[in-house]
Amino acid sequence: MRVGEHDERHAQCRGVVVNDHIEADPTPYAEVESALCDEFAGVHSSTTVTRCVEAAHYGALEVTGYAHPSLVERIARKHLHVLALVASERG
């Protein structure tokens, strides 16, 4: 990608356009959301991915007292797998 070109591949994950003037939301989970958006593309919307990451964050804090990005990613991935399973069972 050249300077000045837009990279909108993951813009839907946080509602921003990444280019040379605007930067993505620098949350500690931006990379987690991006990876999960890629992994579950065509299965879940970016909104669902974001909600699962947020739920995983709060769940990790409540249960363990910390929310390291790798833990949040594992929890969110489990949430997304369960939601996909439920959706497939409903047909």
Provide the pLDDT for residue 57. 97
Provide the pLDDT for residue 17. 41
Look at residue 41 and give its three-state secondary structure: coil
Provide the pLDDT for residue 26. 62
Query: Is 63 part of any domain?
Result: yes
State pTM to two decimals: 0.71
Q: CATH number, domain at 83?
A: 1.10.8
CA 28 to chain centre: 11
Domain tally, the chain: 1
From the number of C-beta atoms within 10 Å of its C-beta (0-12, 13-18, 19+), residue 79 rates as buried
Look at residue 22 and give its three-state secondary structure: coil
Q: One digit per residue, pLDDT tens: the chain, 91 residues? A: 443 444 444 444 444 444 444 445 567 899 999 999 999 999 999 999 999 999 999 999 999 999 999 999 999 999 999 999 999 999 7
Domain that holds residue 62: 27-90
Query: Is 64 part of any domain?
Result: yes
Query: Is 3 part of any domain?
Result: no
**What separation in angstroms does the CA of 3 have from each of 16, 17, 18, 21, 80?**
17, 14, 11, 10, 35
Query: Is 70 part of any domain?
Result: yes
